[in-house]
Amino acid sequence: MTQSSIVIIGAGQAGFQAAASLREQHHTGRIVLVGDEAHAPYQRPPLSKAYLFDEETGDVALRTDAFFAQQRIELATGRRAVAIDRAERRVCFDDGWTLEYDHLVLATGACNRLLTVPGADLRNVFYLRTLDDAKALREQLATARSLMVIGAGFVGLELAAGAAKLGMSTTVLDVSDRPMARGLSKTMAGVISREHQKLGMQLRFETRVTRLLGDDDGRVRGVETSDGQILPAELVVIGIGVVPNVELAASCELAIEDGIAVDERLLTSDPQISAIGDVAAHVNPYPHGQRVRLESVQNASDQARCVAARLVGRTSPYEAVPWFWSYQGDLKLQMTGLARTGCEEVVRGELDSAACAVFSFHDGRLACVETLNRPVEHMLARRLLATRATVTARQVADPSFDLKSLLPKPGAGAAVR
C-alpha cells in the first residue's frame, strides 16, 4: 500500500505519529491528517505541568508548518468527521467536505468525563484536556490564591503539585481511598500521598462532590460534599477521567468494547480501518492477554508506528511493553507493565524516602513495576518485562541481588522491544 491514499482522523499524538511514520517508512501515497481542533498537532503532557506555571513554556507544537509541507502531509484542522461510508470508503465532515480513502486510521482519542452535579457550569470551573483549556486555566492560575482539584488522577495531581510548589493553597478531592487508584498500587499510592502532603497539599479521599456553589456573579465559591461540608473554592479543576471518542466508529457499526476493538495488528472489525491511541481497545500480552485501552503518549506513538509499518508491508503484532510517567512537582513517577487485582507487592528501596520502587507479581510472574525518582531502575524493569525474564519476589526483596543478571545475555535470542 505504499502508494495508497491514507486518511487519519485525529491529529493528536497518535494521529501525528502515524502520518510522520508513514513518510519515515517510505509511504509515497497521499496522507491526509484531520483534526477537529483549530491548532496543528501539539504535545499534551506539558499542559498539566510546565505550560501552566512556566512563562517560558509557550510552544508545544509537535512540528512546524514547514514539516507538514516538506513531508507532503495534508493537514486539515478545525474539521469534525461525522460519518464513515465503509462501502464507498469515504469520510464525511460536518461542513460537507468528504474524503475518500484506501485505508482509514481512527485516532479520535478521548474526552473528559463530565462532573454531573449542580453548579458544574459556574465560572472558574475548568477541565483540562486541550490547548485551549490550558490557555484559559493558565490565565486564572496567574492570579489565583487557592486551587481545588476534583479527582486525584495523574493530570489532577500534576496540576495540584505544580500549584502547591508555588505556594498556592491546594486541595484535592477524590471518591477513591487513595490517589491514582485505577492505575497505582496501594503501597506506592501511600508514598505519593505522604510526599504531596509534605508540600502542604490537602488530600481528601472517599469524598464525593454533590454540588458546586456560586456567588451572585456566577463564579464558583464553594464545593459541597456528600457529608454536608462546604469547602471554599476560588478556582476548581475537574479531572475525573476520560471516555473514549467512539461515536464515529459506532455510527458505522465497528465493534466497540470500551474503546474501538482492534486485533493484534490494530485492525478494527473492518480490515480497511485501523484504530490507535487512547480510543483503541487492544489485546495486550503483558496483562496476560486482556483487552485494554491505554491512555499514554508511549502507547499512542508505538501503535502509530506499528500501523504505519503494516501499511507499507511490514506486518507484525503490537507487543510493546506498556509504560507511563507522571511528573508531579519533584516526584518522577514511572510505571511499566500493567498491574492486576490481587497482586503481591514487593518493595525495593526505602518507602520512607522519595526514591523507591514497587514490584507487583501476579501468579508468581512480574506484572508491573512502579518507580519513584529511580529512572535507572525503571529502564531495567522495562527490559525485564520485554524479555520476559524470570524474576522472583525473593530476588526483588533482596537489595544485594543484581536484577540486571536476570537479563538475557547478548546474542541469547531474546528480543528487547
* pLDDT at residue 1, rounded to an integer: 62
pLDDT tens-digit map of 115-146 = 999 999 999 999 999 999 999 999 999 999 99
Any idea of the CA torsion for 258, 278, 47, 141, to the nearest 10 degrees? -10
Indicate the CATH number for domain 339-406: 3.30.390.30
Q: What is the mean pLDDT of the chain?
A: 94
pLDDT tens-digit map of 380-409 = 999 999 999 999 999 999 999 999 999 988
Question: What is the distance between the alpha carbons of residues 191 and 263, in angstroms, rounded to a whole number?
Answer: 37
Minimum mean pLDDT range among 57-66, 192-201, 294-303, 363-372 = 57-66
Mean pLDDT calculated for residue range 216-242 = 96
Minimum mean pLDDT range among 274-288, 297-311, 314-328 = 274-288
pLDDT tens-digit map of 81-120 = 999 999 999 999 999 999 999 999 999 999 999 999 999 9
* pLDDT at residue 410, rounded to an integer: 74
Angle between helices 13-24 and 297-311 (to 10 degrees): 40
Question: What is the distance between the alpha carbons of residues 193 and 88, in angstroms, rounded to a whole number?
Answer: 53
Mean pLDDT calculated for residue range 363-372 = 94
132-158 burial, b at 16+ Cβ within 10 Å, e below that, comes to ebbeebbebbeeeeebbbbbbbbbbbb
* pLDDT at residue 241, rounded to an integer: 95
How many C-beta atoms lie closer than 10 Å to residue 217's C-beta? Answer: 8
* pLDDT at residue 412, rounded to an integer: 55
* Whole-number percent of the chain with pLDDT over 70: 96
Q: What phi-psi label fits residue 360: left (phi over 0), alpha (psi between -120 and 50 degrees) or beta?
A: beta
Beta bridge partners of residue 212, listed in sequence order: 223
Residue 416 confidence class, pLDDT cut points 50, 70, 90: very low
Question: What is the distance between the alpha carbons of residues 287 and 161, in angstroms, rounded to a whole number?
Answer: 30
Q: Return the half-sphere exposure (C-beta side, CA atoms, 13 A cut-off) of residue 398.
A: 9
Indicate the CATH number for domain 114-240: 3.50.50.60
- Cα dihedral sign, 36-38-43-44: negative
- Report the predicted TM-score, pTM, of the whole model to 2 decimal places: 0.94
* Whole-number percent of the chain with pLDDT over 90: 88
Question: What is the distance between the alpha carbons of residues 150 and 241, in angstroms, rounded to a whole number?
Answer: 10
Indicate the CATH number for domain 6-45+61-111+243-311: 3.50.50.60
Sequence ranges of the domains in the chain: 6-45+61-111+243-311, 114-240, 339-406
* pLDDT at residue 143, rounded to an integer: 93
Mean pLDDT calculated for residue range 222-238 = 96
Q: Give the Å distances, CA to CA, from 369 to 24, 191, 346, 375.
A: 32, 15, 10, 12
3-state secondary structure of 6: strand
Question: What is the distance between the alpha carbons of residues 345 and 339, in angstroms, rounded to a whole number?
Answer: 10
* pLDDT at residue 343, rounded to an integer: 87
3-state secondary structure of 159: helix
Q: Answer yes or no: is pLDDT of 351 > 70.
A: yes
Residue type, 234: E
* pLDDT at residue 89, rounded to an integer: 97
The answer to whether domain 6-45+61-111+243-311 and domain 339-406 are alike in fold is no
